[in-house]
Amino acid sequence: MGNILYNLMPDMISRLSSSESLTIDDFIKIMKLLLAFIKKDKQADSLLEKLIQRMQGVINKDGLFDTRLAECLSYCISFLPLSEKSFRFMAESLPSYSNLLVLECVFTNLQSAVLHFKKYSVRNTELKGEVDDFLDSLTKMHHDKQEHEGIANRGLIHRVRLSYFIFILADYL
């Protein structure tokens, strides 16, 4: 059963995450159930790599972030058991998906996966140090992205106000 589900998993994730009739909560329930059948480390590692690679291209047809897909992929990652190999892949790939860390749910899900790995799987102090460094980097990037997003939003608000002011002023001239 696990092998069959594993082979179908990328397609299921893709179809379910793009289904507008399925709520995020329903997606989470379904994926939590299905991903529980992925027991082998090799399968979990491979699936995590595919999900991380998919996160690199989370752009919708308008050229913007596909927030729903980013959320769905990050939830799936949080349900998979991390191994040392998959953790290292996740850490090495951080720059390629760091732009998604502006989304609170993506940050929280990835942080949750790594914290779970740290709590239950990390035994040696060298790896523990790597995990702590990664968590620090993840948190710093999240805060930097949110700060940048806030500055961009404030700039947009000021441009809109200025445009409105110019529009009103033009009526009086």
pTM score: 0.81
Structure tokens at 31: 């994926």
Q: What is the C-alpha to C-alpha distance for residues 74 and 138, in angstroms, rounded to an integer?
A: 14
pLDDT band per the 50, 70, 90 thresholds, residue 57: confident
| Per-residue confidence (pLDDT) for residue 39, from 0 to 100 | 86
User: Could you tell me the end-to-end alpha-carbon distance of the chain, in angstroms, rounded to an integer?
Assistant: 75
Lowest mean pLDDT among 7-11, 49-53, 131-135: 7-11
Structure tokens at 51: 């999900």
Locus of tokens 């990037």: 141
Q: For 54-63, b where at least 16 C-beta lie within 10 A, e where not — what string?
A: bbeebeeeee
pLDDT band per the 50, 70, 90 thresholds, residue 173: low
pLDDT digits (tens, 9 = 90+) for 66-95: 899 999 999 999 999 999 999 999 999 999
Q: What is the C-alpha to C-alpha distance for residues 57 and 99, in angstroms, rounded to an integer?
A: 11
Distances (CA, A) of 30 to 24, 35, 128, 168, 171: 10, 9, 32, 52, 56
Q: What is the C-alpha to C-alpha distance for residues 22 and 43, in angstroms, rounded to an integer?
A: 26
